Structure 1
Amino acid sequence: MTTDTPDPGNAGTRTHGVVSALLWASLGVVSTLLGMAAAHLVAALLVPSSSPVLAVGSQVIDLTPTPMKEWAIRQFGTADKLILVGSVILVVLALAGVAGVLARRRLAYGAGLLVALVLLAAVAAVNQGGVTDLLPSLVAAVVGVASLWWLHGKASATRAGADAAPASSTSGATPSRRGVLIAAGALAAAAAVLGGAGRFITTLRTGNVDIALPAPADPAGAFPEGLEGKFKDITPLRVSNADFYRVDTRLDTPVIDQDTWTLTIDGDVEKEIELTFDDLLAMDLIERDITMTCVSNSVGGEFVGSARWLGVRLTDLLDMAGVGDKADQIYTTDFDGMTISTPLDLATDGRDAMIAIGMNGEALPRAHGFPARMIVPGLYGFISATKWITRITLTTYADKSAYWTDRDWATDAPIKVSTRIDTPASLAQLSTGENVIGGVAWAQQLGGVDQVQVRIDGGAWKDAEMGPSVNNDYWRQWFYRWDASEGQHTVAARAISGDGTTQTPARALPFPEGASGIQELRVTVG
C-alpha cells in the first residue's frame, strides 16, 4: 500500500510565491495611498471636491439609477456617502494591489495601471468641476508612480536573494526584505501625515462663518417652550444647526467666499440683476420658523427638521427683476452647476418663500448652503431648497429641465401630512403600566397639525396630547400616556391637519413625490 506524500519543497516554493506576491501587492497599495494622500492635501488647499476619491464618488452618484440611490438611503441613512467613499477606496486599493503585483513582472505594467486609475479620477474631476480641478489627480499620478518606482527599485535589488531563499526562511522577513518593508512603512507613515494634514485643512476651511447678521425687519416673534424638557426622547421643537439633517448629492462641504459670491436673477425678466451678499444684508429681512423635509424621507424617517430662518423674501427679489408673462418655473443653480426647479405659482402664492442667509440666529452653516439658499415652505427640498445658490432663472418647464426632473422625479411635490414616533423605539422592551408614546407631526400649508391620534394593537384611534403650536409651516410635538399591559403590542400614530386632512394609510415609497403611510412599530411589555 502506498500513499502520496506532499513535497515539502513544492509547498515551500508555493508559500514563498504567495508571500512575495503579497509583498509586491502591498507596495502598490502603499504607493497609491501616498498618491491619494498628497492629492487630498492639494485638493484641501484648492477645491476639496477635486480630491480624486471624492470626484469618482460624485461621478458614481450621478450615474447611479434612482431606485438604487433610494435603496442606499433607506438602508444606510446619512451614512450612505461614507459607505460610498469607503467602497471607492477599497476598489482603488484592490486594483493598486494588482498594480503592485504587475510591477514585479515589469514596472511599466504596474505604473500603467496606476495611471489608468488616476485618469478615471481626472475625467471625473473635470466632469464634476472643470479643467482647473485636474491638479490633485496629476499630483496623485506623479507621487503614486514615483513611489512605486522607488519601492520597485528596492524590491528588485533583493528579489534574486528572496526568490532563492529556502522555504524555512519565508516565515519571517529576511534582512533584505526587511529593508523593503521599512521603506514601505515610511511611505505609509508619510501618507498618514499628508492625509491627516489634508483633513485638518479641510476641517478648518469648512468651519462655519462668524458674521453679524442684521435684525429682521419682520421678526418671527417669541418661540414657545417645547416638550423635550418634559420628555427627553421627543425631538426638540427647534433642531440645532449641528443636528439638522443634511441630504444632497455632494460628498464634500463647499467653501464659498461671501465677498466674491453673487446671486444673478435672469431669464424671463424685465431686467437681469446681480446681487452681492452685502446687498442681501442691506435688504428688508424676514425671520420665519419653518419645517423642512427631504423627499427621500421614509415613513418615520430622520430627514426632517425645524429651524428659525432669516432671509430675503423671494417675491421681493423677483419684483426687483420683474417677472415676465411666460415663465412657469423658477430654475435655480448652485455654485457648481446643480439645478433645481420650483413651480413659480407655488413659490409666489403668499407663502414665506425666501433666500435664506441665517439659521437659528447664526449665518448659514457651510453644510447647509452658506452664503445663501432657497427655502419654500410646504414643498419637498428637491424642488425648493437649493443650497449654495448663485442663479435664479425665470423660465418654463418646456425650455429647461433640472437635475431631479431629468431623473423622473415629480415637478410638483407638496409635503404630505406625516407623523413620526420618536419614543418608544421599534422593538423596545417596556415595563408594564404607564408609558409615554411621543414624537412630532407636520402638515405644512394645510393649516398645520391640529391633532395627532394613537392606535394600539389595531384598535380605535385615540387623541394624543398636543405640544405648542408655532405656526402652520412648523411641526408640532405630541405625546400619549399609555397604560401598557404585558405582552407584545403594535403602536401606530397619524396626524390630522388644520383643514381636516387625515394622514393617509396608503403606502408609497419616496420616489417620485414623497413617501406616505402610517408608521407602526412593535414593542414588548413586561
Structure 2
Amino acid sequence: MRIRLLWTLLWAWYGVLATLVGIGLAHLAAAVTDPAASPVLAVGSTVIDLTPTPMKEWAIRTFGSADKAVLVGSVLVGVLALAALAGVVARRRFAAGAAVLVVLVAVAAGAVLTRPQAGPLDLVPCVVAALAAPAALRLLARTQDHADDGRSDGRSDGRRTVLLAITALTAIAAAGGIAGRLVSSLRARPEDVALPTPADPARPLPRGLDDQVPGITPFRTPKGDFYRVDTRLDVPVVSADDWTLTIDGDVDRKVTLSFDELLAMPMVERDITLTCVSNSVGGPYVGAARWLGVPLTDVLDLAGIGSTRADQILSTDFAGMTISTPLDLATDGRDALVVVGMNGEPLPREHGFPVRMVIPGLYGFISATKWLTRLTLTRYDDQQAYWTERGWATDAPIKISARIDTPKALAEVDPGDVVVGGVAWAQERGGVAGVQVRVDGGPWVDAQLGPDGGNDYWRQWFHRWSAESGSHRIAVRAVAGNGEPQTAVRAEPFPDGASGLHELLVKVS
C-alpha cells in the first residue's frame, strides 16, 4: 500500500513538473510577444471578469494589495492539481495523461482569445505550452520506464538517469520563468523616456508634517508606495514607441496621436489625490502625487466636440478594458489630465506607463484609466463600460473623508500626551477647511491642520490628546472648504464609495 502511494505521488510530481515546464516556456514566449497572453495570467484575468462584485470587494478587503497574488496562486494551484492527475493517469495510459495537459492548455487558449484585442500571435504561448508540457511528460515517462527495465535486468544506472531528467526539466521550467521576467523588464522601459518641462508647473509643495508626527502618512506618496487596484494580474508592458491615442466617436474628426505628438503639446503639473472606490472608511487605497500631463480638454479639442451629443467619455486601455467618465464632469474646469509623469518621473508601469488619465474629485473607476489608448465620445444609452455593466455608479464623486494614521487600532500607548494624526481629503469642495477629533463620544475638538497643497490634494492633521488609563475610542471627521461636513452615515464601497466616520480603539496603560 505504501509503495503504491509513493508511485502515485511520483507520477503526480511528473505531471506537475511537466506542466511547470510548459508554463515557464509559455511565460518566456509571452514576454517576447505579449505578457498578457501568458496562459496562467489569461485564465486568472478571465476569472476576475467572471467573479461577482461582492466577491471582488471581499477579496480586496481581505487580502488588500495581495489580492492579485492570491488569485494567481489559486489558479496555479488548481492547474497543478489537474496536472498531478494527468501524471497519475499517464502512468497507465500516457495518451490520456497528455490529453489532460492539452485540455488545460486549450482552456487557457480560450481565455486568451476572449481578450478584446486578442490576435493570432497571442496564441503562441499556448502553443508552446501545448508542445512542451506533453513532451516533458513523455521524457519523464520514458526515463522512468527505462529505469524500471534496468532494475529488472540488474542494472543500477536508471535512477541516476531519472534524477538527471528531473533536474534538467526543473532547470528549464525555472529558466523559462526567470528569463520571461527579465525579457519583460527590458522591454519599453519608462526610465528611457525624457519628459518635457511643463508649460504650467505646479507651485512648490509645502513641507508636510512627516518629520513632526511619527506614523503620519507622507504628504506626497512615493511612487513605490502608491496603491494599485485594477483588473490586471500582471504589470502590462506597453511600448511608448508603438503607443497611440485615438479620439473618436461623436466628434468632428477622428484623431490619432503618437507618444511624441502628445509630449509636444503644452504640459501642466498638478498635485492631485487619487482614491479607489473600493477604499473602505479609513482604508489604504488613497494616495497623493504630482502629475504631469496634457489637459484632457486640450486633447478632446483636437477632435472637436463642440456639437457632440455624447454624455460620456468611454476610455479604453491597451487590452480593451473600458471606463466611463461623465463628459460634463470631465470638462467642467477641473484639472482633468492625460498623464505621462508622476512625481517628476515617467509613469511607472504599474501606474499606467506610458499614458493614463487622472481626473480629480472622481473615484478611479470612472476617471483613472491606466495604459490609455482610446477616448470615445458616446452615450451611456449606447455603450456601457466594464464597471457600469457590473452595477457600479456612473457618477461617483469622491466623498469627504478623514483617516487616523496614528495611533493604530488596538495600539497600547502610555498615559499623558498622545499625538493623534492622519490625513483628510475633500476634493472639488474647496479642499479641507477643518478636521475634528472626538474621544469616547465626547465633544468634537478642532485638530491642527498641516500645510495646504491645494483643493485637489489631501491635508495632514494632528491633535494632542491628554490620554488617561483605560480603553478609549477615537473618531475623526473632516469639513470641506465649502462648509460641507463629512457624513457619519455608513455605506459600503458598492456602488459609489464608502462613507462614515473612521473610529478606532486604543488602550492606555
Distance in 1, Cα, partners of 2:214 & 2:192:
30
In structure 2, the CA distance between the partners of 1:103 and 1:282, relative to structure 1 (3 Å rule), is: same
Distance in 1, Cα, partners of 2:326 & 2:411:
43
Distance in 2, Cα, partners of 1:175 & 1:94:
31
Which of 102, 105, 127 is the equivalent residue of 1:118? Answer: 105
Q: Deviations over 1:41-82 (max 9, x none)?
A: 111122111111111111111111111000000000000000
Q: Does the residue aligned with 1:387 lie in a helix, a strand or coil?
A: coil
- Aligned partner of 1:259 in structure 2 is 241
- 1:48 corresponds to 2:31: no
Q: Deviations over 1:191-231 (max 9, x none)?
A: 12222222222233364333222222222112100000212
- Aligned partner of 1:134 in structure 2 is 123
Q: Indicate conservation of the 8 Å contact 1:234/1:438, yes or no.
A: yes
- 1:71 corresponds to 2:53: no
Q: Deviations over 1:66-119 (max 9, x none)?
A: 110000000000000000111111111111111110001100111000001011
The aligned runs of 1:27-426 (5 Å cut-off) are: 27-128=14-115, 129-159=118-148, 176-177=158-159, 179-205=161-187, 207-323=189-305, 324-426=307-409
1:178: how far off? 5.5
Q: Indicate conservation of the 8 Å contact 1:206/1:254, yes or no.
A: no
Distance in 2, Cα, partners of 1:375 & 1:96:
43
Q: Deviations over 1:431-476 (max 9, x none)?
A: 1111111110000001111111111112111111100011111100
Distance in 1, Cα, partners of 2:46 & 2:408:
36
- Aligned partner of 1:517 in structure 2 is 500
Distance in 1, Cα, partners of 2:450 & 2:169:
59
1:164: how far off? 12
Q: Indicate conservation of the 8 Å contact 1:162/1:177, yes or no.
A: no
In structure 2, the CA distance between the partners of 1:175 and 1:461, relative to structure 1 (3 Å rule), is: farther
- 1:467 corresponds to 2:438: no
Q: Does the residue aligned with 2:463 lie in a helix, a strand or coil?
A: strand
Q: Indicate conservation of the 8 Å contact 1:433/1:484, yes or no.
A: yes
Q: Deviations over 1:359-390 (max 9, x none)?
A: 11111112111221111110001001111111
- Aligned partner of 2:2 in structure 1 is 15
Q: Indicate conservation of the 8 Å contact 1:44/1:202, yes or no.
A: yes
Q: Indicate conservation of the 8 Å contact 1:264/1:273, yes or no.
A: yes
Aligned length: 505
1:343: how far off? 0.5
Q: Give the unaligned 5+ runs of structure 1.
A: 1-13, 166-173
Q: Indicate conservation of the 8 Å contact 1:490/1:521, yes or no.
A: yes
Distance in 2, Cα, partners of 1:24 & 1:175:
20
1:485: how far off? 1.0
TM-score of the two chains, using structure 2 as the length reference = 0.96
Q: Indicate conservation of the 8 Å contact 2:44/2:72, yes or no.
A: yes
Distance in 1, Cα, partners of 2:30 & 2:59:
27
Distance in 2, Cα, partners of 1:71 & 1:414:
22
Distance in 1, Cα, partners of 2:165 & 2:179:
21
Q: Indicate conservation of the 8 Å contact 1:206/1:366, yes or no.
A: no
Distance in 2, Cα, partners of 1:87 & 1:511:
25
TM-score of the two chains, using structure 1 as the length reference = 0.93
1:145: how far off? 0.3
When the two chains are superposed, the root-mean-square deviation of aligned CA atoms in Å is 1.7
Larger radius of gyration: 1
Q: Deviations over 1:264-321 (max 9, x none)?
A: 1111111211111122222111111110111111111111111111111111222222
Q: Does the residue aligned with 1:248 lie in a helix, a strand or coil?
A: coil
Q: Indicate conservation of the 8 Å contact 1:309/1:360, yes or no.
A: yes
Distance in 2, Cα, partners of 1:178 & 1:524:
62
Q: Does the residue aligned with 1:390 lie in a helix, a strand or coil?
A: strand
Which of 464, 478, 488 is the equivalent residue of 1:505? Answer: 488
Q: Does the residue aligned with 2:210 lie in a helix, a strand or coil?
A: helix
In structure 2, the CA distance between the partners of 1:163 and 1:20, relative to structure 1 (3 Å rule), is: farther
